[in-house]
Chain A
Amino acid sequence: MSLWRKLACGILALVLGAALAANWLAPAGYAKQYREATDSSPSRTHWLGTDEIGRDRFARLLYGTRISLLLAPAAALLSTLMAALIGGLAGYLGGIWARMAMAVTDLFMSLPWLFLLITARALMPLNVSPVVSVLVTFMLLGLLGWTTAARVLCTTAGSLRTSDFIRQARAAGLPKQRLFWMHVVPNLKPVLYAQFWISIPVFILAEANLGILGLGVAEPLPSWGSLLKELEGLVSVGEEPWKFVPLILLVVVVTSFQLLLSRQEEVAA
Chain B
Amino acid sequence: MNNHEQNSERLANPCGKVIAVAVLCLGFLLGQAGAQGGGELRFCLRNEPKTFDPLKVEDDASAAIRYLTGGVLVRVNRQTQELEPELALSWKVSKDGRQISFRLRSGVSFSDGTAFSAEDVAYTVQQLMDPALHSATGDAFRSGTGSVETKVISPAQVSIRFPAPVAGLDRLFDQVAILSEHSPKKEMAVLGPFMVADYKPGSTVLLQRNPYYWKTDEQGRKLPYLDSIELDIQPNRDVEMLRFKRGELDLINSLDSEYFDKLAATSPQLVHDAGPSLDSEQLWFNEVAKAPIPSYKKNWFRSVSFRRAISEAINRDDLSRIVFHGHAQPAMGPFSPANKFWFNSKLKPQAYDPDAALKALQTDGFRMENGTLKDKDGNEVVFSIITNAGNKARERMAVLIQDDLQKIGIHVNVVTLDFPSLIERMTQTFDYEAIILGLTNVDLDPNGEMNVWLSSSENHQWNPQEKTPETSWEAEIDRLMRAQASSSDAKQRKEAFDRVQEIVVEQEPFIFLINKNALSAVSTTVHGAAPVILSPQTFWNAERLTVSK
Measuring CB to CB, which residues of chain A are less than 8 angstroms from any residue of chain B?
31, 33, 35, 38, 52-54, 118-119, 121-122, 126-130, 213-215, 218-220, 232-233, 235
Contacts and interface: CB of A to CB of B under 8 A. Distances in A.
A219 B389 CA distance: 12
B322 A52 contact: yes
Given A52-B322, A122-B421, A219-B414, 9 more contacts: A35-B318, A53-B322, A54-B322, A118-B418, A126-B431, A213-B389, A218-B415, A219-B398, A232-B392
A173 B389 CA distance: 61
Given A35-B322, A129-B413, A220 B433 contact: no
Task: Report the contact-size class of chain B (Cβ under 8 Å from the partner).
Answer: 35 or more
B395 A219 contact: yes
Given A122-B417, A126-B386, A52 B400 contact: no
Summarize B's interface: helix, strand, loop or mixed.
helix
A126 B294 CA distance: 13
Contacts of A53: 322-323, 396, 399-400
B238 A235 contact: yes
7 nearest A-B pairs in the assembled complex, by CB-CB distance:
A214-B389, A122-B421, A214-B416, A126-B384, A219-B414, A127-B384, A219-B399
B418 A122 contact: yes
B396 A52 contact: yes
B126 to A, nearest CB: 44
Contacts of A232: 392
Contacts of A129: 413
A218 B403 CA distance: 14
Contacts of B318: 35
A136 to B, nearest CB: 12
Contacts of B417: 121-122, 214
B432 interface: yes
A251 to B, nearest CB: 22
B403 A31 contact: yes
Contacts of B454: none
B383 A218 contact: no
Interface in B439-494: none
Nearest to B294: A127
Contacts of A38: 322
A122 B415 CA distance: 10
B402 interface: yes
Interface in B374-424: 382-384, 386, 389-390, 392, 395-396, 398-400, 402-403, 413-418, 421
Given A219-B395, A219-B399, A235-B238, A130 B389 contact: no
A218 B387 CA distance: 12
A126 B403 contact: no
28 contacts: A35-B322, A52-B258, A52-B396, A53-B322, A53-B323, A53-B396, A53-B400, A54-B322, A118-B421, A121-B417, A122-B417, A126-B386, A126-B413, A126-B431, A127-B382, A130-B413, A213-B390, A214-B416, A214-B417, A215-B389, A215-B416, A219-B395, A219-B402, A220-B399, A220-B414, A233-B238, A235-B241, A235-B242
Interface of B: 237-238, 241-242, 245, 258-259, 262, 318, 322-323, 382-384, 386, 389-390, 392, 395-396, 398-400, 402-403, 413-418, 421, 431-433
Contacts of B384: 126-127
Nearest to B261: A39
A108 B241 CA distance: 41
A126 B382 CA distance: 11
A232 B239 CA distance: 12
Contacts of B400: 33, 53
Nearest to A233: B238
Contact of B413 (A54, A128, A215): A128
Contacts of B395: 214, 219
Contacts of A35: 318, 322
Contacts of A122: 417-418, 421
A4 to B, nearest CB: 37
Nearest to A118: B418
A118 B389 CA distance: 11
B322 A218 contact: no
Contacts of A126: 384, 386, 413, 415, 431-433
Contacts of B383: 127
Contacts of B259: 233
A126 B415 CA distance: 7
A127 B416 CA distance: 12
A53 B404 CA distance: 13
Nearest to A32: B403
Given A126-B413, A215-B389, A218-B413, A233 B402 contact: no
B258 A233 contact: yes
Given A126-B432, A219-B399, A214 B382 contact: no
Contacts of A213: 389-390
A38 B238 CA distance: 22
B390 A214 contact: yes
A192 B279 CA distance: 56
A38 B386 CA distance: 24
A40 to B, nearest CB: 12
A241 to B, nearest CB: 16
B403 A33 contact: yes
Nearest to A129: B413
Contacts of A54: 322
B426 to A, nearest CB: 12
B144 to A, nearest CB: 40
Contacts of A118: 418, 421
A35 B392 CA distance: 17
A221 to B, nearest CB: 10
Contacts of A218: 413-415
A267 to B, nearest CB: 42
Contacts of A215: 389, 416
B464 to A, nearest CB: 19
A104 to B, nearest CB: 28
A105 B263 CA distance: 51
Contacts of A233: 237-238, 258-259
A53 B396 CA distance: 7
Contacts of B241: 235
A154 B415 CA distance: 39
A214 B398 CA distance: 13
A126 B292 CA distance: 12
A186 B259 CA distance: 58
B486 to A, nearest CB: 41
A38 B323 CA distance: 10
Contacts of B431: 126
Contacts of B399: 53, 219-220
Contacts of B418: 118, 122, 214
Nearest to A127: B384
A127 B262 contact: no
A118 B323 CA distance: 26
A232 B241 CA distance: 13
A218 B323 CA distance: 19
A215 B433 CA distance: 19
Contacts of B403: 31, 33, 220
Contacts of A119: 421
A232 to B, nearest CB: 8
Nearest to B237: A233
A235 B262 CA distance: 9
A126 B286 CA distance: 13
Residue among A53, A121, A128, A213 with most chain B CB within 10 A:
A53
